[in-house]
Amino acid sequence: MTSTSSTWGRLRQHLHTTQLLGGIHSTLYFDQNTAMPAAAAGWRGEQLALLAQQLHERQTSAAYQELLAGAEQELTPEAPAEQHHNLRLLKRELARQSRLDPALVGALAQAQAEGYSRWQEAKQRSNFQLFAPALERLIALRLKQAQQLAPVEAQADGSPRSPWEILAQPFEPDINKQQLAQWLLPLRDLLPPLLEQARSLPAGSSEPWDLSEPQQEELCSALLEGWGFNPERCLRARSPHPFSCTLGPDDFRITTRVVAGQPFSAFLATAHEWGHSLYEQGLPRTGEHWFPWPLGEATSMAVHESQSLFYENRLGRSQAMARRWHPRFRSALGRDVWGDAQAFWRDLNPIRAGLTRVEADEVSYGLHVLLRYELELALVEGGMPVAELPDAWNRGMQELLGVRPANDAEGCLQDVHWSEGLFGYFPSYALGHLISAQLSETLEAELGPIETLLAADGDAQLGAWLQQRVYPLGRSVNAAELVEQVSGRPLSHEPFGHYLRQKLEHLAS
Amino acid sequence: MTSTSSTWGRLRQHLHTTQLLGGIHSTLYFDQNTAMPAAAAGWRGEQLALLAQQLHERQTSAAYQELLAGAEQELTPEAPAEQHHNLRLLKRELARQSRLDPALVGALAQAQAEGYSRWQEAKQRSNFQLFAPALERLIALRLKQAQQLAPVEAQADGSPRSPWEILAQPFEPDINKQQLAQWLLPLRDLLPPLLEQARSLPAGSSEPWDLSEPQQEELCSALLEGWGFNPERCLRARSPHPFSCTLGPDDFRITTRVVAGQPFSAFLATAHEWGHSLYEQGLPRTGEHWFPWPLGEATSMAVHESQSLFYENRLGRSQAMARRWHPRFRSALGRDVWGDAQAFWRDLNPIRAGLTRVEADEVSYGLHVLLRYELELALVEGGMPVAELPDAWNRGMQELLGVRPANDAEGCLQDVHWSEGLFGYFPSYALGHLISAQLSETLEAELGPIETLLAADGDAQLGAWLQQRVYPLGRSVNAAELVEQVSGRPLSHEPFGHYLRQKLEHLAS
């Protein structure tokens, strides 16, 4: 069934080459963000466009369609379920790609470039009106795209998906608004009282402090070394924004940056990106139905984020880690501005409402996402005029977080996503917190408290649990199914709420 | 004539895309040598092979051949000479590519991979016999290749080229053995007495010394900064072996390494690679007949090498630079192991016969190349059995340099080139010295002594001369023509000899 002489075997070869090209694209992206000099941007843009075009052609060509059809004919009902599943995923992606009108794709690419450039200017001058026309056009084009995709984007029961839901599918397969309401709306009631409670927490360090770049680099390297970083397969580099990317089946890269005045930023970002990377490293890449088939891929953004948040928050910000790292930070700094590990731990966990999502703590974060989700729905499906966005944003911030941006730059212009017409992306960030908490609850039920394990240097045991229970699932399940399969219960906000309440209690003591 | 609707315009577009792909290939190579983790080598190899295949297809496809034929028809006799020249170069390359039998190309690729792997093992175990069968096969295949190429590789006057000459063409266009004899054989008489003379030179530093990696990095950065390194278009990175590469029209990278116990190694390699890079940066990339046409490319390895050697030896190892850098090295080291700039200069210029080409000084270097050139001719054209290579090598070393390798690893197995069947490559290294010296002589006749210019911080004036007189020629002339055009005389060994004699005199004083 899988020799290269069969259609199925030739399909596998086709996907393998597609992965090679995709990896080249990722390498160019990695180089662009870690090495490439600025003046090379135009040339690199042409190279990325050339590869994107090659990839699109491979994924929609008549030859590929024939391969898929032939492989389907070859597939007997008795063939392993994974083969049927792979074929379904490939057919769905082909249907999606084939529905897209090239003219619309072109117009959208242009509107995205225009939107990004307008947004940069608008943000710099803190003037939303400079960006508003571009945003209007992006919304109109994305709605047209959703309309084109609608026939192939029905739900499993045949009922149609809403435009926002269609746009969210690439990030979060099978997501719908009903589920999101169930998962995210309770955060509206859960989080604000916790934020209020956090206002009375004792302070961490007795004075502001910072570490030099080489010192932070060394701490980040030590952190990764302790977590099994294998330089034979992994690389850490520097870039303006931290990210994780996979360049090949044995090539995993993460990047971090040192932020002046935020000496935990690189350390925690390293933990975060390493969580992403470990998930990628653990995806099923061996065996007949996995690499380079769709089943071997990451299943959703929310699951990806749950893995990075696990390493950042459950491990990196834990009390046990604070006890372990307090002496090293103290020694790097040359003095002890904390006095004890508990104060150092509080410093690792500042909790207070702020204006900026990317700087938000575990409690505030969900509220930032809720605001964006509600505004996206209003813009994309609710007919809210774009001109009303700044006011709606500011009102929402006041209501959810009790703070009010002084201008558009720190308000509705803060994130890049809408400038490129990316709608449907934000909820995955918040779902990541929920999933991480629910998986952690199961892990703790089976292995004991994470704090106890970390205190006994059982980091590898925690990692092994994820490697056995979560990573190997690949795309065989979506995010909701993954959580239910691992934890035995449907995803809910409750483990997350429980975790936050407990943490605040310990931070207060 | 050059709108995209004309065949000529479409040919230009085709070449532009080929350059984009070539640049992607270079980016993968750069990443492989500066960032990629070791385990990713197999995957990267597949990616490079995929791109090489795409590039080969683009350069030999029927569509491309039609484009070339159409462009030729469109070209009137009155069209600029550069257009005719571009077309000749493209047609020659197409003829070369089309002559190659795909089966032979495949066999050669396999033999190269095998040869490289055998050579590594043989070198490690210092046992030539382990490599001998692979070398025999490589010679046989390369001879077959030369045979296949012979019909399209005749000289300008129609007379045939010898097999070695054919294999050398990709590195040194139009090169022939008669010219090489004229240029290189005099070195046999010129260099040994100079080496002998150098034995009585006073010592440099009073004791061994070394600098830390960060200190060397800082000195290298300062060197480049003083030479106009523009981080908007250039990048310096680290790799196991120094190299320079061009990733796009505004993307120039060089790499260096720090070698323990050789504190000038990174500094001089930086100067060397920067010389390569400046040549690439100065190639004609604007205007109708240049980028992405062949005329806009580097013309030969020897010319490239002459530019890197100019920066390494004429600038980096000059007396004026020694005076400029002695205080900085002294300050980095924390003490003065030289006493004065003259002793520091002697330290920068150790001249003594050794076993290893890549560590050879300006005087010995040509002798290392002469040996290799003569042995290549014997192996490829003279019927010398491969088994005789080690003895022939050791005899040659004794005769030319007065030293004898203790084993094959430091003898005939030292260089990688033959392990991949690269014959015809070495002479360009020595020609680079000759060209650099002859161009320098012209430069000094026009601007005054290099030492005087450097003493007055006139580095930029030296750079500007090369930018005006050498770099813009691109491939419009071959190496011999370039030298004659710039210096007004045919290339000879005399300026090189004059330069070395003068330098030894100053080193002795």
Q: Could you count the other beta carbons within 10 Å of the beta carbon of residue A478?
A: 18
Joined together, the tokens standing for residue A338 give: 């904390």
Q: Can you tell me whether residue B254 is helix, strand or coil?
A: strand
pLDDT digits (tens), chain B, 509 positions: 455 679 999 999 999 999 999 999 999 999 999 999 999 999 999 999 999 999 999 999 999 999 999 999 999 999 999 999 999 999 999 999 999 888 998 899 899 989 999 999 999 999 999 999 999 999 999 999 999 999 999 988 889 999 999 999 999 999 999 999 999 999 999 999 999 999 999 989 999 999 999 999 999 999 999 999 999 999 999 999 999 999 999 999 999 999 999 999 999 999 999 999 999 999 998 888 888 999 999 999 999 999 999 999 999 999 999 999 999 999 999 999 999 999 999 999 999 999 999 999 999 999 999 999 999 999 999 999 999 999 999 999 999 999 999 999 999 999 999 999 999 999 999 999 999 999 999 999 999 999 999 999 999 999 999 999 999 999 999 999 999 999 999 999 999 999 999 999 999 98
Q: Is A273 a known active-site residue?
A: yes
Those residues whose C-beta lies under 8 Å from the C-beta of residue B499, and which sit 6 or more positions away, are B437, B440, B441
Q: Count contacts between A and B (CB, < 8 Å).
A: 106
CB B133 within 8 A of CB B117: no
Joined together, the tokens standing for residue A226 give: 């302790």
Mean pLDDT of A360-372: 97
Residue A82 has pLDDT above 80, yes or no: yes
Give the C-alpha separation, B347 to B179, whole Å.
35
- What distance in Å separates residue B336's CA from the closest CA in chain A? 29
Does B20 contact A251 at a Cβ distance shorter than 8 Å? no
The secondary structure of residue A258, as a DSSP letter, is -
Of residues A17, A39, A237, nearest to B50 (C-beta) = A17
- What distance in Å separates residue A50's CA from the closest CA in chain B? 8
Does B247 contact A40 at a Cβ distance shorter than 8 Å? yes
Nearest CA in chain B to A46: B20
Does B233 contact A39 at a Cβ distance shorter than 8 Å? yes
Percent of chain A having pLDDT more than 70?
99
Give the C-alpha separation, B165 to B176, whole Å.
6
Nearest CA in chain A to B229: A37
Q: Greater confidence, A455 or B289?
A: A455
pLDDT at B1: 43
Those residues whose C-beta lies under 8 Å from the C-beta of residue B179, and which sit 6 or more positions away, are B480
Does B47 contact A24 at a Cβ distance shorter than 8 Å? yes
- What distance in Å separates residue B51's CA from the closest CA in chain A? 9
The secondary structure of residue B358, as a DSSP letter, is G
- What distance in Å separates residue B24's CA from the closest CA in chain A? 7
Give the C-alpha separation, A490 to A375, whole Å.
27
Nearest CA in chain A to B43: A248
Cβ-based contacts of A251 with chain B (< 8 Å): 36-37, 39-40, 43-44
Cβ-based contacts of B285 with chain A (< 8 Å): none
CB A224 within 8 A of CB A275: no
Whole-angstrom CA distances from A44 to A50, A255, B247 are: 10, 20, 9
The backbone torsions φ and ψ at residue B251, rounded to the nearest 5 degrees and listed phi first, read: -150, 95
Does A27 contact B23 at a Cβ distance shorter than 8 Å? no
Joined together, the tokens standing for residue A324 give: 């372990």
The backbone torsions φ and ψ at residue A226, rounded to the nearest 5 degrees and listed phi first, read: -65, -20
pLDDT at A169: 96
Of residues A24, A34, A235, nearest to B28 (C-beta) = A24
Cβ-based contacts of B252 with chain A (< 8 Å): 37
Give the C-alpha separation, B492 to A165, whole Å.
75
Cβ-based contacts of A34 with chain B (< 8 Å): 35
Give the C-alpha separation, B302 to B436, whole Å.
9
Cβ-based contacts of A51 with chain B (< 8 Å): 24
ipTM: 0.93
CB B416 within 8 A of CB B164: no
Question: Which residue out of B153, B273, B305, B444 is catalytically annotated?
Answer: B273
Of residues A17, A40, A237, nearest to B35 (C-beta) = A237
CB B481 within 8 A of CB B175: no
Q: Write the pLDDT tens digit of every residue in A253-270.
A: 999 999 999 999 999 999
Each domain of chain B, given as residue ranges in start order, spans 7-171
Mean pLDDT of A351-367: 95
HEC-encoded secondary structure of A141-165: HHHHHHHHHHHHCCCCCCCCCCHHH
Q: Could you count the other beta carbons within 10 Å of the beta carbon of residue B395?
A: 13
* Interface residues from chain B to A (CB-CB < 8 Å): 17, 20-21, 23-24, 27-28, 30-31, 34-40, 42-44, 46-47, 50-51, 231-235, 237, 247-253
Give the C-alpha separation, A114 to A110, whole Å.
6
- What distance in Å separates residue B158's CA from the closest CA in chain A? 41
Give the C-alpha separation, B211 to A205, whole Å.
39
Of residues A27, A38, A252, nearest to B31 (C-beta) = A27
Whole-angstrom CA distances from B339 to B210, B275, B347 are: 16, 30, 12
Within 13 Å and on the Cβ side, how many CA atoms surround B48?
Answer: 14
**H or E, element range at A248:** strand A243-248
B/e letters for A250-268, b = 16+ CB within 10 Å, e = fewer, are: bbbbbbbebeeeebbbbbb
CB A93 within 8 A of CB A294: yes
Of A145, A187, A188, whose CA–CA distance to A169 is shortest?
A: A145
Give the C-alpha separation, B384 to B378, whole Å.
5
CB A104 within 8 A of CB A141: yes
* Interface residues from chain A to B (CB-CB < 8 Å): 17, 20-21, 23-24, 27-28, 30-31, 34-40, 42-44, 46-47, 50-51, 231-235, 237, 247-253
Give the C-alpha separation, B360 to B371, whole Å.
14
Please, which pLDDT band fits residue A4 given cuts at 50, 70 and 90? low
Nearest CA in chain A to B35: A235
Joined together, the tokens standing for residue A465 give: 């649990």
Best of B18, B33, B36, B277 to mutate (most A CBs within 10 Å, chain A): B36
Sign, CA torsion B302/B306/B309/B311: negative
Name the one residue in this structure whose structure tokens are 């009155």: B78
In a 10 Å sphere around its CB, with 0-12 CB exposed, 13-18 middle and 19+ buried, how is residue A286 labelled?
A: exposed
**H or E, element range at B255:** strand B251-256
Question: Which residue out of A165, A172, A273, A362 is catalytically annotated?
Answer: A273
Of residues B23, B31, B40, nearest to A47 (C-beta) = B23
DSSP one-letter string for A50-71: HHHHHHHHHHH-HHHHHHHHHH
Name the one residue in this structure whose structure tokens are 């009790």: A402
- What distance in Å separates residue A247's CA from the closest CA in chain B? 9
Q: Can you tell me whether residue B21 is helix, strand or coil?
A: helix
CB A492 within 8 A of CB A439: no
Residue A3 has pLDDT above 70, yes or no: no
Joined together, the tokens standing for residue B495 give: 């300026």
Cβ-based contacts of A229 with chain B (< 8 Å): none
Give the C-alpha separation, A362 to A306, whole Å.
12
Find the angle CA(A407)-CA(A408)-CA(A409) to the nearest 5 degrees. 95
Sign, CA torsion A109/A113/A115/A119: positive
Joined together, the tokens standing for residue B442 give: 């012209």
pLDDT at B3: 59
CB B450 within 8 A of CB B443: yes
Parallel, antiparallel, or unpaired: how do β-strands A251-256 and B244-248 relate? Answer: unpaired
pLDDT at B156: 82
Find the angle CA(A411)-CA(A413)-CA(A419) to the nearest 5 degrees. 155
Find the angle CA(A27)-CA(A33)-CA(A35) to the nearest 5 degrees. 85
CB A468 within 8 A of CB A278: no
Of residues A35, A38, A232, nearest to B37 (C-beta) = A232
Cβ-based contacts of B212 with chain A (< 8 Å): none
Give the C-alpha separation, B129 to A385, whole Å.
80
Joined together, the tokens standing for residue B405 give: 């390798």
pLDDT at A1: 43
Q: Can you tell me whether residue A166 is helix, strand or coil?
A: helix
**Segment of A44-48, A99-103, A114-118, B133-137 carrying the highest mean pLDDT:** B133-137
CB B338 within 8 A of CB B205: yes
Sign, CA torsion A478/A479/A484/A489: negative
Mean pLDDT of A396-415: 96
Of A83, A223, A180, whose CA–CA distance to A480 is shortest?
A: A180
Joined together, the tokens standing for residue B423 give: 């014959």
Of residues B43, B237, B250, nearest to A23 (C-beta) = B43
Whole-angstrom CA distances from A373 to A107, A183, A293, A430, B293 are: 25, 13, 32, 10, 52
DSSP one-letter string for B173-203: TT--HHHHHHHHTHHHHHHHHHHHHHTTPPP
